[in-house]
Structure formats: C-alpha cells, structure tokens
Amino acid sequence: MDGQDASQAAPVFILLGPPGAGKGTQARRLESAFGLVQLSTGDMLRAAVKSGTDAGRQAKAVMEAGDLVSDEIVTRILADRLAEPDTARGVILDGFPRTAAQAEALDALLRERGQRINAAISLEVDDVEMVTRISGRYTCAACGEGYHDSFKTPEMDGVCDNCGGTEMTRRADDSAETVGARLEAYHAQTAPLIAHYDAQGALTRVPAMGAIDDIARDLGAIVTRTRG
C-alpha cells in the first residue's frame, strides 16, 4: 500500500480513557453504527490466555496483577490483527496504544500502510467512579452484553436480556484490589498519550460520565466529521 493517498485509506480511530471509562461499550456501538472493526488488545490478550498460546502464558499473571503486558507482545498481536483483510473497513482501537512506545509503533505501522489517525478520542471520567463501575461489572458469556451488580441487572436474575444466555462471566482483573493498579498504570503510562495526539492535531476530548446513548451520539458525530 506504499504511497497510497491517506485520504482514501481505511480510517483509524483511537479510544483513550481509564479502565471502566466505557471504551469497549462505545467501540462496539461504533462498530455496528459505522461498520468499523473494533480492535481490543484486552480481548485479544484474554483470548490468547484462554487458548494458552506463548503470548497468553506470558500475559496471564501480568494482567491479573493489573500491570501492562510488554510492548513487544501487544504490538505484535495488534500488527498481526491489523494485517487481516476485514480491517480495510476502518478500525477503532480500544486499549491500544497504552504506552509511548506503542504509540510510536502504531505511528510507524500506519505510515507504512498509508494510513493516518483520523481521531484520538479521550473519554473523560472521574477515577473514583471507575472503581465502583469496574468492581461490579460482569458480562454474558454468549453475547458479550455488559451488566453491573448495582447499575444494570438483567430483568431475570442470571439470564441475559439480550440473548437468554445463563452463563455470566467476570474478568479476573475486575476485582477491587486490581482496579487500583490498573488506574495507576493508566495515569503513569497511558494518559501522557493524550498530549501525543494533541500535538498531532488528532485529539478530541469527550465528557463520558453521562448516559451511554448520549456519549455514543457524541462519538458518532466525531467519526462522521473525521472519517474523511
């Protein structure tokens, strides 16, 4: 794709924000509204852990402690996924990049592919609230619908409203003990990327403490305006 006009290339959107900010929820909304492909490095790593690949074996303990998996592993996983043909529809990166080294690797990868970052969207939330949100959340194993012990329980206890599934799962790192470490990793290593994308002129901040639908509308407007 060398030399391809970046304005014709597949658009790239980045969602930034601390754990619990709603990146996954909003990425799935944008996926269905705009036909973009959600690329969640967290989901990819959890799949690698589950299937016991080398990367998964190395990542498991790190993730459970709330720390960041090595740049090398994560960047390789993301680059492999980006090379698959469905990403030509445009991608929404959820959870990547998370460090300065990952942001640089992404810039280089996109440059090679003749792509650019259409928008880096920072979901602005308060930390204290994130701890409560994360420690009560769980999802339907069958369809991925998200629930919360206090804020969003299914109509019938233990049965998914969306698909009727009865197996609910909680992430191993969604415990109260691990959330603190994840927030710390976010502030130390990921929040500085906000300035990186601001300097590139790609940054938009979106207040994200409100209703999911309202935030989805704001993000949709940004995608429409910047997808080029």
Please report, in angstroms and rounded to a whole number, the separation of the first and last CA atoms in the chain: 18
Q: Is 170 one of the annotated active-site residues of the chain?
A: no
Task: Report d(CA 113, CA 130) in Å as an integer.
Answer: 36
The closest alpha carbon to 78, from 61, 62, 95, belongs to: 95
Least separation in angstroms between residue 198's CB and ligand ADP is 20
**Stretch 82-111 residues interacting with Zn ion (CB under 5 A):** none
Amino acid at 219: L
Least separation in angstroms between residue 189's CB and ligand ADP is 8
Q: Is 89 one of the annotated active-site residues of the chain?
A: no
Phi, psi torsion values for 204, nearest 5 degrees: -130, 135
Q: Is 137 one of the annotated active-site residues of the chain?
A: yes
Q: Is 171 one of the annotated active-site residues of the chain?
A: yes
x-marked contacts with ligand ADP along 50-89 as a string, rule CB under 6 A? ------------xx--xxxx----x---------------
x-marked contacts with Zn ion along 139-178 as a string, rule CB under 5 A? -x-xx-x--------------x-xx-x-------------
Contact 152, 47 (CB under 8 A): no
H or E segment and range at residue 39 = strand 37-40
- Catalytic member of 28, 98, 113, 133: 98
Q: Which stretch binds Zn ion (CB under 5 A): 52-60, 61-69, 133-141, 171-179?
A: 133-141
**Stretch 95-114 residues interacting with ligand ADP (CB under 6 A):** 95-96, 98, 102
What is the gyration radius of the CA atoms in the chain, in angstroms? 17
Least separation in angstroms between residue 86's CB and ligand ADP is 20
The closest alpha carbon to 106, from 183, 48, 193, belongs to: 193
Q: How many residues bind ligand ADP (CB under 6 A)?
A: 19
User: Helix or strand or coil: residue 158?
Assistant: coil
Q: Give all strands of the β-sheet with 168-169 in edge-to-edge order.
A: 146-148, 137-140, 168-169
Q: Is 22 in the site for ligand ADP (CB under 6 A)?
A: no
The closest alpha carbon to 130, from 19, 211, 10, belongs to: 19
Compute CA 121 distance to the chain's CA centroid, rounded to the nearest angstrom: 11
- Catalytic member of 23, 29, 46, 133: 23
Nearer to Zn ion by Cβ, of 34 and 147: the residue is: 147
Q: Tell me the catalytic residues.
A: 23, 98, 137, 171, 182
Which spans of this chain sit near ligand ADP (rule: CB under 6 A)? Answer: 19-20, 23, 41-42, 45, 62-63, 66-69, 74, 95-96, 98, 102, 173, 182
